[in-house]
Amino acid sequence: MATPASRLPKGFKKALEICRPPSIVKLFPSSRALLVSGKVIDRAMLAKGRAVALAANGRSIFVIRGALRAAQRANAAILIEIAKSEGGGNAYCAVNFWNIARIVDACCNEMGITVPVAIHADHYGIKGAKDVETAKTEIPSMFDAGITSIAIDASHLPDDQNLLASIELNPFVPRWAGLETEVGEIKGKEGLSTPQEALFLIQGLNAHGIFPDWIALNNGTTHGIEASDSGIQVDLTRQIHEAIAACKVSGAQHGTSGNSTERLKQITAQTRTTKANVATALQMISWGIEVNDYGNAILDANGRFIKNPGMGVTEAMWAEMVAYAQTHTLKAGDYKKLNLPFENKLLGQPREVRLRMARRVEEFAYKMIVDVFNARDTAPLAMEILLAAGSHNPGQKARRSEKPADWTSEKIAQKAAALSSDKGPQGNFED
């Protein structure tokens, strides 16, 4: 339902006219959804201070609808995202890089969502030269389809190759778009990120005129289901953020599912984080799975999920999903692969079931936005930033401070070789 003109936020109509990226205007010329660059979301969190935007992985329309409603309730700027593993060429979700903007725009218009929303391509993974070449075609296609922000994730590669791949792909990312870079985030056997490693990446990008909005770290997180609330290392995160503070890069926190709300509050209050990804928790909550206070699925004595009667999907649907998982030998952490084969069946459930799936996501996301991430009332700040810029691009936060001559390919290799190999304890960081 469209929001009546009399109830529109101050400046909304003007922002809609002049502050949407050109690709969004082309795709949705008559839309009343304020889809914006990821840069705008970061700047709004910085304007409030010690605030973190929810970046909801929209594995289904139920998650997308619930997260958008939560943001509207909280008057908060938000990102809706999908990762390459979720929505790329080998996707396990029906929502993908090329349809997520259309889904979000449609939902915003239907539900009268007026808060600024960025469409983020998360974990666009680069694992070798072949991926770099594919990306040169694929990334422009994603922005043509409505993506407004992207995470170039070459963290699987050695430090020098990570930097060089990010440099090579930067011309294919619009200057106005939100940009996230990654160092060590899911390297696994390489251990945790270090301040030196992060500074190397950010300084090397700076020398080439590339100024990321966010950096993601391997700071103790994993993706998916966790057995306990151990994980994110707040002190390490703070140290790395302080080391790169002069470069004006915000932090992006990954792997929040499995970390306590207290830990996430510390990340919000003590670090320079402005974006936090929430994926698995929202999926499980939409299905009606029993979770603890931070969205981590609770398993019974036999290691099985506990389905709350009358919440999420119907009992018959859940039984079918479990049977499918057993037939296909899917472990608990692989239940995410149910999204694609069950997409149409979930959409075909009774209206009241579909509504309660989204409503459960809304309640959880609202508490995260307001009580954990301190992002309430960041939507007006985003609006002010857009109107002050007078365009879709609020500009870069940093300026070039590194000399390009000091960061040639040869010197990058030399600098990378000199980085400390002691990266702390090893981890098992699944993509």
Query: What angle is formed at CA 233 by the lines to CA 375 and CA 365, rounded to 5 degrees?
Result: 30
Domain at 92, CATH number:
3.20.20.70
What does the pLDDT look like over 298-329, one tens digit per residue?
Answer: 999 999 999 999 999 999 999 999 999 999 99
Token readout for 371 is 């009580």
How far is 396 from 83, CA to CA, in rounded Å? Answer: 24
Specify the pLDDT at position 295: 82
Confidence band, pLDDT 50/70/90 cuts, at residue 430: very low
Structure tokens, 51: 């605030």
* Per-residue model confidence (pLDDT) at position 431: 34
> Which pLDDT does position 5 carry in this prediction?
61
pLDDT bracket for residue 421 (50, 70, 90): low
What CA–CA distance (Å, rounded) separates 395 from 177? Answer: 10
Mean pLDDT of 245-265: 90
Alpha helices in 185-248 (DSSP H): 195-207, 234-243
- pLDDT tens string 18-35: 999 999 999 999 999 999
Q: What is the pLDDT of residue 222?
A: 54
- Please provide the DSSP assignment of 47-82 as one string: HHSS--EEEEE-SSHHHHHHHHHHHHHHT--EEEEE
Residue 256 has pLDDT above 90, yes or no: no
State yes or no: pLDDT of 362 exceeds 80: yes
Count CB-CB contacts under 10 A for residue 359.
16
Has residue 422 got a pLDDT over 70? no
Handedness of CA 227, 231, 232, 235 (dihedral sign): positive
Give a yes or no: residue 403 inside a domain.
no
In-domain check, residue 348: yes
Name 148's Cβ contacts closer than 8 Å, sequence gap at least 6: 21, 23, 24, 35, 36, 37, 38, 101, 118, 119, 120, 177, 178
What is the reported pTM?
Answer: 0.95
Q: Domain total for the chain?
A: 1
Question: What range does the domain containing 303 cover?
Answer: 19-391
Give the per-residue pLDDT at 257: 75
Most confident of 90-99, 226-235, 259-268, 296-305: 90-99
- Per-residue confidence band for 2, with pLDDT thresholds at 50, 70 and 90: low
Is 104 within 8 Å of 117 (Cβ atoms)?
A: yes
Place of tokens 């009667």: 309
Neighbours of 365 (CB within 10 A): 29
For the chain, percent helix, then strand, then coil, each to nearest 5? 50, 10, 40
Percentage of residues in the chain with pLDDT exceeding 70?
A: 92
Q: Considering only CA atoms, which of 271, 262, 282, 232 is closest in space to residue 68? A: 282
In a domain, 85, yes or no: yes
3-state SS class at 285: helix
pLDDT of residue 296: 85
| Phi/psi at 82 (5° precision) | -145, 140
- Write out the two tokens for 168: 């090579």
What mean pLDDT value characterizes the chain? 93
**Please, are residues 309 and 287 in contact by the beta-carbon 8 Å criterion?**
no
Look at residue 357 and tell me if it is in a domain: yes
Predicted local confidence at residue 225, as pLDDT: 44
Asked whether residue 224 is assigned to any structural domain, the reply reads yes
- How many other C-beta atoms can be found within 10 angstroms of the C-beta atom of residue 252? 28
